Chain A
Amino acid sequence: MRRSRQGIAKALGVAASAALVLSACGGGDVGKATEANKSDLAANGGQTCGDVNIALNNWVGYTADAYVVGEVAAKQLGCTVSYKNLAEELSWAGFGDGSVDVVMENWGHADLVQKYIKGQKTAEDAGLTGNTGIIGWYVPPWLAKAHPDITNWQNLNKYASNFATSESGGKGQLLDGDPGFVTNDEALVQNLNLNFKVVYAGSEAALIQAFRDAEKNHTWVIGYFYEPQWFLSEVPLVHVDLPKYTPGCDSDPEKVDCDYPVYHLNKVVSKSFADSGSPAYDLIKAFHWTNADQNLVAKYIAEDGMKPEDAADKWIADNQDKVNAWLGK
């Protein structure tokens, strides 16, 4: 008895809400906006650019690339752009099932090229971004100024004791950062006979915080870093020269004794996206800009605290000529 009355009350509730919810379709300012959207679509002849899934790797320079291309695709080509927060490896894996269409900034990754472009054939190269990437060892500017000779690796042992911390067991501490990047630093320390110990910061955030504090408090820090990187416009870290890179000097990971190569960053797209005939593909293939461009957008995001889409819109508005070149106008 009690149960059935409860049941009736529930059924009534559901029915009433359903009636109201249905009746809500036409009216109000929301209804008008819906109609406007419908008529816009009809005016385009029902055509859209389609979906573009852009992987969003976790550094700000990448975000700059992704949102500039994404905003152009969304606002000037009418595509439906979605951004997927993913690490590099995962983004490539997403090419296979169409959940990722494009990786905007690829740092070499010979293993992934081998696996997905040559092996599974789910991805293909979409040309250079125009940015060059440098990986290496860096010190805060105050240190390079106070001890100019520190930027030569041969002098590092002289200063090793200044770099010692509670983590480095009496040796100098060499900070290594983002675990997503390949590093040869353990081998380098060994092969160059440096009195240092590699300490893994474990994240880019930790590394940046360490350099930020080092510059502010004039403490001794040396670590793995890379450019282009938004943080360099906040604290212009100084590159330490290791023995020059020559092709093949890093072929055996155990015996590396030279600096990192310069990376020419490129875009990678999924095979299915490349074959789809989407206008966004042509845009991405044509996309090309400089380190200065990227750093500017990255600065808007990281330092000025702008939302990535606003930062991208600002740059696009100031550089429509470059955008037009990508669009073939």
Chain B
Amino acid sequence: MSATATDEKVKSASTATRAPVGRGPIPKWVLLVAVIVGWVVVWSFTRGQQILDLGGQQTTSLHESLTSTANHIQAATGSWYIALTRHIADALNWTVELLQSWVSVAKFPRPIPEIGWLGVVAVASWVALALAGWQIAILVGLSFASFGVLGWWSDSMDLLIITGITVLIALVIGIPLAVWMGNSKFATAVVTPVLDVLQTLPGFVYLLPLFLFFGIGAPAGIMATLIYAIPPVIRIASHGIRSVAPSTIEATTSLGQTTGQRIRKVQLPMARSTVVVGINQTTMAALSMATIAAFISSPGLGVPVIEALDLVAVGKAFVPGLAIVIMAIMLDRTTTAISERSEKLKRAGGVNRRMRFAVLGVAGVVTLIAVYLSRTYFWAATFPERFDYGATLAARVQSISDWVSNHLGTLTTGIKNQISNLILNPLQDLLANSPWWLAGIAILLLAAVVGGRWATLSTAICLAGIYRLDLWHDTMITLATTLVATVLVMVLGVIFGVWMGRSKAADRILRPILDAGQTMPPFVYLIPALALFSIGRFTAIVAAIIYAAPAAIKLIADGIQGVSPTTVEAATAAGSNRWQIISKVQIPMARGALVLAANQGLLYVLSMVVIGGAVGAGALGYDVISGFRQSERFGKGLAAGLCIVLLGVMLDRITRKAASRSTQYAAAKKTRRNPVTSVFGLVPQNPTRAPHGVAMREKEL
């Protein structure tokens, strides 16, 4: 966050403390209602004029010029930058092919890869044992075995290879950048907006150009994944470095350390657990993007998911999707355990060291035997077909999905029509059918009331950008859909978040389901959603809810859990019933978490706009997809992608401002957390449980 933003925080803190004393004579909600009433009145007689709409197949001269610039750049095949990127691509290709020949692709004349499934399972478990303890080792072993049981062994290995290489590159580039940012306000101010754009720009916008530079397959897939996955580690690690106590640095500096010593001996070790959290976030983001990279023929589990989508076969898509979920949960728990364990080992000292090495040694010998077997005998090399339950599971899921769509179709159509006609259509009518200047002014005024001066400035810049990109009407339609989806996300968030926050059992049951919602590739559940709600904006909203609600639920649950037990006890003693405790104590005291959940909910919903375009939501999502699929639309797709970025920045600045105002209420409870968590303020207790970094998640970073 830049220096100005920090000032802004200080200022807003002072206004927030003054506000309850009654500085303004007019309450905020009155202003809000006044703006909306004024908007509706003007809209009623200007409706449909100057709405700047553009047909799905139409483009403007700006879009055309973006397209021709892109063509011009890629046509320069002899240029130095194409030569450079091709060299990088060759190196990446070589690495990927080498690793594939070890675990997933047979290299002639060998009939199978160098190491078979038994060896890989053993090696992975052993590494987990060494780094994260025996529970995680078992988890890792079972997860790897499940890839075989689900019938997608080699694709799982490919996905791990792509994710692994990407995370490695992300660290090599990201950690030095983070160190620089941790020590320089200037660097932070320059890099942060770039990270914002990288995280909100839809992948489909840059898949095509990357492909032109790096060629088909793994290299372009790795680069696309890198773009999306690198911001979390930079943001989080730089924050960790910045948070090292200045007194520590002063003390060591007074002993005469060099800059290099300060970074290597003080800052990085002290920020270590935060850095690991950053690596975890980057890994999760890499996993989700590596799936989408299958659209440019990058190997991995995304390939069977997309093939099944072409066949409109839910069952077939579900099985590799499940393997992705298992992989994500496995990597999440493993990296989290590593970070926690490094702390523990530091404290435990050398008591159990000898024992540990003995166990590792024995396990190592077993591992080596397993590797040897898997190189020598087919039964240990190729996963036995009789344990492959992938096809059975696919058929089972398919029949469940068929039953659901056959029997629930009429009910769900009713829900869809109600929400579309009562909420979505009127809101879209107001936003998209207002003259552009009216909608613009109204949004600015709302930003001013909710977010304050700086949020208004950000909003003005973003709206100007959207206007300039010639996609005003489409952006307003997307905004309407996004807002409705966010409201529904918040409704679910409050219901399930309060439940989870109050009951440990509910937490244990719901958490894996929420993890699955966040990590399952959306292409898997699009088909059943289509069967239930048919083509349209509402299906897009459903998909967005599946993806975004888990994050909001976790945030709110965490906020509720954070309410001090003594307060709740006091309220109980005073005779409050359960409903009163929830509505009068827990929800008001978790207000900061609620606002933050709305902020995160909005951004997560926004990251699903493109997926929504694939099921009939039209507008920006469709523009991006058609830009990816047809080169003459590239410029329009890029413009639409940028509009999504601007929309994201605008909504983030407004809600973040509101969040920082209400955070004052919740500031006290932050201290309860362990140091890693408090980095994120109100972000979930385990921030890694909210994978798929969406830009600007870490509100203070």
Contact = CB atoms under 8 A, between A and B. Distances in A.
B616 A179 contact: no
Nearest to A26: B376
B625 A59 contact: no
A59 B310 contact: yes
Q: Chain B interface mostly helix, strand, loop or mixed? A: helix
Contacts of B312: 205, 208-209, 212
B665 interface: no
Contact of B629 (A9, A16, A180, A301): A180
A38 B613 CA distance: 51
Contacts of A253: 57
Contacts, number: 197
A210 interface: yes
Given A29-B378, A165-B536, A89 B306 contact: no
B62 to A, nearest CB: 18
A325 interface: no
Contacts of B117: none
A97 B219 CA distance: 13
B108 A213 contact: no
Contacts of B628: 87, 179
B377 A28 contact: yes
Given A60-B310, A166-B538, A205-B312, A179 B421 contact: no
B72 to A, nearest CB: 12
A73 B299 CA distance: 23
Given A166-B421, A182-B630, A85 B535 contact: no
A130 B632 CA distance: 28
A210 B208 CA distance: 29
A28 B376 contact: yes
A2 B372 CA distance: 31
Interface string A149-169: 000000000000000011100
A9 B357 contact: yes
A17 B364 CA distance: 9
B311 A90 contact: no
A210 B376 contact: no
Nearest to B418: A166
Q: Chain A interface mostly helix, strand, loop or mixed? A: helix
Nearest to B89: A97
A41 interface: yes
A201 B57 contact: no
A176 interface: yes
The CB with the most chain B CB atoms within 10 A, among A115, A201, A203, A204, is that of A203
A251 interface: no
B615 A99 contact: no
B279 to A, nearest CB: 21
A17 B368 contact: yes
B535 A175 contact: yes
Nearest to A111: B632
Interface stretch (B138-146, B158-166, B290-298, B320-328): B290-298
Contacts of B303: 85
A29 B110 CA distance: 11
A121 to B, nearest CB: 12
The CB with the most chain A CB atoms within 10 A, among B56, B86, B306, is that of B56
The CB with the most chain B CB atoms within 10 A, among A34, A100, A175, is that of A34
Contacts of B297: 84-86, 90
A299 to B, nearest CB: 12
Interface stretch (B209-217, B436-444, B674-682): B209-217
Contact of B536 (A63, A85, A166, A203): A166
Given A84-B216, A179-B622, A202-B617, A166 B109 contact: no
B57 A199 contact: no
The CB with the most chain A CB atoms within 10 A, among B56, B74, B75, B310, is that of B310
A24 B526 contact: no
A202 B535 CA distance: 9
A202 B537 contact: no
A209 B526 CA distance: 10
Given A97-B215, A100-B216, A199 B618 contact: yes
Contact of A30 (B111, B296, B531): B111
Interface in B619-654: 621-622, 625-626, 628-632
Nearest to A179: B626
B309 A90 contact: no
Interface in B159-196: none
A93 B531 contact: no
Contact of B111 (A34, A59, A178): A34
A94 B208 CA distance: 11
B603 interface: no
Contacts of A47: none
B54 to A, nearest CB: 11
B690 interface: no
Given A179-B622, A301-B311, A202 B613 contact: yes
A319 interface: no
A113 to B, nearest CB: 13
A144 B614 CA distance: 28
Contacts of B316: 305
Contacts of B215: 94, 97, 99
A92 to B, nearest CB: 9
Given A34-B111, A213-B534, A217-B409, A202 B614 contact: yes
Interface in A118-177: 120, 165-167, 175-176
A17 B371 contact: yes
A27 B376 contact: yes
Nearest to B611: A202
Contact of B217 (A59, A84, A179, A201): A84
B108 A201 contact: no
B368 A16 contact: yes
A33 B111 contact: yes
A199 to B, nearest CB: 6
Contacts of A30: 110-112, 375-378, 381
A320 interface: no
A209 B531 contact: yes
24 contacts: A21-B375, A24-B376, A29-B376, A29-B377, A59-B310, A85-B295, A90-B208, A90-B297, A111-B632, A120-B75, A165-B534, A176-B56, A179-B625, A180-B630, A186-B58, A200-B622, A202-B618, A203-B625, A205-B527, A206-B526, A209-B535, A213-B531, A217-B409, A302-B311
Interface of A: 2, 9, 13, 16-17, 20-21, 23-24, 27-31, 33-34, 37-38, 41, 58-60, 63, 84-90, 93-94, 96-97, 99-100, 111-112, 115, 120, 165-167, 175-176, 178-180, 182-184, 186-187, 198-210, 212-213, 216-217, 253, 301-302, 305
Given A178-B629, A180-B630, 6 more contacts: A85-B297, A166-B424, A166-B537, A176-B56, A202-B622, A213-B409
